Chain A
């Protein structure tokens, strides 16, 4: 009697995972060879850059903020890093006379650029008190404009930036082969970023302040937390992560345009929400975010794998986001 009640409660509390496991089971039944190491490696590789982006956005969601400019910042980082890292023998270089750079210089550069955009977001939100939705909506449009001006310039105009330095491509596409077991570099990068962010969230003053600001901003201020400073730092960190993810995205795909990264912020926010980050702030864990992104990628990949039409995929994804939040909210309402 009590047992069934407990099971019911457990199912209810984890309903989103139940739904997703069910979906996964359907995918596997329809196409058993979905369960292969290659597929899972592909999923993890694709999820890697998204995890990095989502970890940036998640910290902001926890402070009751959001960031709609994430995707466009990824695009800017992709275009700038790609433009500076075209192979010297490629015919259509944006900078025909540019020397071959160490790949880390452009990567660091775009991390700094996006960090500055992130910082601006933070300043507008915390000092000018513009709501995060509006502030980052504006920033999203501005960054796109900046990126497009940079992208659409002589000598070749608005052409996709290709012919990337092989070293740069290898940086994202390469992998370790340990006794026949292949681990892509991207997965390693995502793991390192995850570890760093886990440390920040759980072990540092910044992390504690982040939860405090999200849990109760006024109480945080009364407790001596410098809300503005902490918000600016968090938005800056998010920007730096987008910058890193953007350069990885360029190298992974092998080309970049001003539309690279478009709508990535929505995927990131959706993944955070599925992973249990509360939109009203104060709640969220690193593991939740990572699981959220991976689940999303599994569904994406799985639906494509069994041949569900792209349009139908959108509908299913939309339903997952809405039901995830509906179920999550139910949990908190019940607790009252």
Chain B
């Protein structure tokens, strides 16, 4: 007899020193369905998954796989039993080719040698099944993020996984790639695989999932069929309060032109070509585009991180030259980068260090740093950005993503920039904290700062910005008034030069 549920996690609890991370959480996944797991960061989604994979051992509760009680001691055991995970941070060996990665740790052998031919054929078979058009012999480092993710999924399939956990699979995918991912997910459903889908993106969840389980503060809140839910209901369950406005009210006033960019072209192509735009004080200019549209290259070029071939940058009517971040900072630019972990934070170092490093020159007399003023400014960052931290001496790496982001934004505000560039400012941040970041951005615009905000989340661009410039394949496809546009128009522009 077929079990009704493929996976059952019943009354799982996990206590950490000082916090109850999970409190009797139950999750039941039916075969051939997508089960979305939603909750704010810190709600316990990852902890629950770590209990499933044996990375943490739950204090109480039971796990049944196909009606059989299981208790995995490590991720490897879980994998061998058909439970696998596609990580948010991709775990691939970039220097090796695709099939090496898929069969890593269990290469098919003939005698002493690795059976390359069989490896190739088996990989190809899985790719055909999932409609992935890639050469198994391609080096992983040449692939895009979405292609790497597909490799991870193919890897999970190659283990004959019955349960596949996907942690924020679409966080760096374009709409087109998301569509492909969903096609793959549907193929997996056909095979009877149960998918646990962790995401912050509500519209996607409603589109793809069959059931939705909401968690909050380590507790199970509810499990419902997706067909009975809408975005507002889910958010309400997640945050435990009515969040009628997902975006703060906009009351910024737009002033004079502060930045004028003409025919900006980057040296190393493919990159931006002939990009021209204007930015005004108090304005929030969004940048939209698909992955690969070179949105980030614009701010990199303006910040001296990318060499410029030709083009003119005028700040306050004066033409300037920017060849490194120091020039950019001197001219009033600030950049909050997309990859918070790799180019933003100094994870091992404390909040004081992280807050003051970009502005260190202004605390110095003859190269000696005035610690009192550093402390004062750090306190300003903590207070005005509402950073939740025990002290200035706390290592930034121990804070949540939202709080880290607030420190980074604070870091740049200390340099008193006129032009603040934010690249994906709310990536990996939960709904509540996102609202706070939006509020911060709008408040800054109100104070006369000019803001460039890159985002791949359309609702966010439509909710926060004044104008949106749409990039397509390195070209500027158009600049639209946020009030007068819609998602369809932006998507059309984004595809203009493809």
Binding site for B on A (CB under 8 A): 203-209, 211-212, 215-216, 218-226, 282-283
Contacts and interface: CB of A to CB of B under 8 A. Distances in A.
A118 to B, nearest CB: 19
Interface in B277-311: 303, 305
7 contacts: A203-B368, A204-B369, A208-B360, A212-B346, A216-B345, A216-B346, A224-B326
Contacts of A219: 337, 342-346
A205 B364 contact: yes
A282 B357 CA distance: 14
Contact of A220 (B324, B329, B357, B411): B357
Contact of A203 (B343, B344, B357, B371): B371
A215 B346 contact: yes
Contacts of B356: 208
Contact of B348 (A223, A225, A282): A282
Given A205-B361, A221-B325, A224-B358, A215 B369 contact: no
Interface residues of B, number: 29
B124 to A, nearest CB: 37
Contacts of A206: 367
Interface string B305-328: 100000000000000000011101
Contacts of B79: none
A282 B325 contact: no
Contacts of B192: none
Interface of B: 303, 305, 324-326, 328-329, 335, 337, 342-349, 353, 356-358, 360-361, 364, 367-369, 371, 411
A204 B368 contact: yes
Which of A207, A209, A216, A222 has the most C-beta atoms of chain B within 10 angstroms of its own C-beta? A222
A282 B343 CA distance: 15
A165 B369 CA distance: 42
A208 B362 CA distance: 13
A220 B364 CA distance: 17
Which of A204, A209, A226 has the most C-beta atoms of chain B within 10 angstroms of its own C-beta? A204
Q: Is the interface of A mostly helix, strand, loop or mixed?
A: helix
A203 B374 CA distance: 11
Given A207-B369, A222-B305, 14 more contacts: A204-B367, A205-B369, A212-B349, A212-B357, A216-B342, A216-B347, A218-B342, A219-B345, A220-B357, A222-B303, A222-B344, A223-B357, A226-B326, A283-B348
B349 A211 contact: yes
Contacts of A221: 305, 325
Nearest to A228: B324
Given A205-B369, A223-B411, A224-B326, A211 B360 contact: no
A208 B369 contact: yes
A39 to B, nearest CB: 38
Nearest to A216: B346
Q: What are the nearest 7 A-B pairs in CB distance? A: A215-B346, A223-B358, A218-B343, A224-B329, A224-B325, A224-B326, A205-B364
A220 B344 CA distance: 8
Contacts of A216: 342-343, 345-347
Given A212-B357, A225-B357, A205 B344 contact: no
Which of A204, A206, A224, A226 has the most C-beta atoms of chain B within 10 angstroms of its own C-beta? A224
A42 to B, nearest CB: 37
A218 B338 CA distance: 12
Contacts of A204: 364, 367-369
A220 B326 CA distance: 11
A144 B110 CA distance: 52
B353 A208 contact: yes
Contacts of A283: 348
A224 to B, nearest CB: 5
B325 A223 contact: yes
A209 B360 contact: yes
Which of B337, B348, B360, B369 has the most C-beta atoms of chain A within 10 angstroms of its own C-beta? B348
A226 B361 CA distance: 12
Contacts of B305: 221-222
